[in-house]
Amino acid sequence: MSALDSTLTGAQTLLATTLQLAHEFAQGAAHRDVARELPHAQIRALAKNGVLAARVPREFGGMDLNIVDLVAIYVALAKADPNIAQAIQPHACGVEKIRLYGTPAQQRRYFALLREGAMITNASAEKGGGTVGEIRVTLSRTADGKGWQLNGDKHYCTGSLFASHFYALVLRDDGGRSIALLPRERVGVAIIDDWDGMGQRTTASGTVRFTQADVADDEHLPLPPAGTLRTHEGAFAQILHAAIDTGIALAALEDAARYGRERARPVPEAKVARAGDDPYVLHAVGEMAMLAHGAEALLDRAARALDKVLPRALDGQASDAELGHASIAVAEAKMAANEAALRVSEMLYRVGGAGATVRGWNLDRHWRNARTHTTHDPVAYKAKAVGDYYLNGALPPITTKI
């Protein structure tokens, strides 16, 4: 890392460092997927080099990296290993929540921890019966009134085995919502490694169980009632998801082109000596490039739209119209990235043919990762929101899903 040009800005240095790390991470990505070898060392490297603290505000000693550059980091990491990019995505969202809802004292505390290499990941989703979006994990006042206790299970806690801290979306006993922030080693916090998805196998997206875990008054952030305050949270979360899908598409394109050049055999019907001269293979790669690079372009457009509104959003001064416009731009990028990740990772086999299906290459990880990751938020609802915006002038719903 010391060989980096000393004239670079902090953001440029962080980007260059991330590209170096991503190159290293890519070397073992296929093996980690097969063996389900969790990327502990890789996550520590990101923390050590400041990637996890990229969005810490300048007034707290951070870089306050803009969205365009943050997205570039996530694309590079996802292209190398989308498990790593996805494992740290909820952490980035947690940083934004602290920026939006934390008191100055809480911000000083947690941003200092981030600068020291902390990873604060999510314990928010729940499953089972009940209404969609219902919160059943509870934060209740202790009998002496001096603190709180947290009880319940959270699922799909991405990055849980890498975390130093958790933020949990909880229901207080007075009926309000909060984000509880507590260290991983707190008594009453248990991590269950039960994630068994076909793709994104090493994101450590297991269950976190809270059993009478103590939470101090200054360890939770009260939230406004659901659906009442429009912020940049949803667009921020979704643009990172779009960056991950775009990275998967770019990796599949690169592997397809490499396999086509170096290993693919032409079919007899093509009457050519090289697969690279088969017009249908050329067509497939051309279409794959269009999809991947189109998603990349829309992602950049969305990042710029979000950067434009972000200063006012963080000050609580952005209008609903400004925030809604940015969310729509992000939704369009996510739609394109979703399509690109799925189609490019499947079209790879039009280039490689039967030989590319050999388990040793593990090229199917691109599709498995894409198919697993793109189930996060139904893209059809993004298309509906985009259509309603352009046809009827309707702002998207207030949610972290769009």
| Per-residue pLDDT tens digits for 277-333 | 899 999 999 999 999 999 999 999 999 999 999 999 999 999 999 999 999 999 999
Average pLDDT over residues 246-273: 92
Which pLDDT band, with edges at 50, 70 and 90, does 266 fall under?
Answer: confident
Is residue 400 helix, strand or coil? coil
Which pLDDT band, with edges at 50, 70 and 90, does 3 fall under?
Answer: very low
* Percent helix / strand / coil, the chain, rounded to 5: 55, 15, 30
138-141 and 148-157 beta bridge pairing? antiparallel
Segment 186-200, tens digit of pLDDT: 999 999 999 999 999
Average pLDDT over residues 43-50: 98
Indicate the domain borders of the chain.
Answer: 10-119, 122-223, 233-392
Does position 248 have pLDDT exceeding 80, yes or no? yes
Q: Which of 6-15, 33-42, 47-56, 318-327 is predicted least confidently?
A: 6-15
Average pLDDT over residues 229-249: 97
DSSP character string of 205-246: -EEEEEEEEEE-GGGEEEEPPTTS---SHHHHHHHHHHHHHH
The closest alpha carbon to 90, from 36, 17, 32, 165, belongs to 165
Does position 6 have pLDDT exceeding 60, yes or no? no
Q: Half-sphere exposure of residue 22, counting CA atoms within 13 Å on the CB side?
A: 21
Which pLDDT band, with edges at 50, 70 and 90, does 76 fall under?
Answer: very high
**Could you tell me what percent of the chain has a pLDDT over 90?**
89
Q: How far apart are CA 52 and CA 56, in angstroms?
A: 9
According to the model, what pLDDT value does residue 393 have? Answer: 98
Contact 304, 321 (CB under 8 A): no
Does position 172 have pLDDT exceeding 50, yes or no? yes
Segment 197-228, tens digit of pLDDT: 999 999 999 999 999 999 999 999 999 999 99
Domain 122-223 class?
A: mainly beta
According to the model, what pLDDT value does residue 267 have? Answer: 86
According to the model, what pLDDT value does residue 273 have? Answer: 85
According to the model, what pLDDT value does residue 258 have? Answer: 95
Domain 10-119 sits in CATH 3.30.2290.10: no
Average pLDDT over residues 267-285: 90
pTM, whole model, 2 decimals? 0.95
According to the model, what pLDDT value does residue 9 have? Answer: 83
According to the model, what pLDDT value does residue 5 have? Answer: 52
**Joined tokens for residue 141:** 């006042």
Q: How far apart are CA 381 and CA 370, in angstroms?
A: 18
Does position 132 have pLDDT exceeding 60, yes or no? no
Rounded mean pLDDT of the chain? 94
Domain 233-392 sits in CATH 1.20.140.10: yes
Is residue 81 helix, strand or coil? coil
Q: Which of 4-8, 27-31, 48-52, 123-127 is predicted least confidently?
A: 4-8
**Could you tell me what percent of the chain has a pLDDT over 70?**
97
Which pLDDT band, with edges at 50, 70 and 90, does 4 fall under?
Answer: very low
Does position 364 have pLDDT exceeding 90, yes or no? yes
**Based on the number of CB atoms within 10 Å of its own CB, is 161 exposed (0-12), middle (13-18) or buried (19 or more)?**
buried
According to the model, what pLDDT value does residue 8 have? Answer: 63
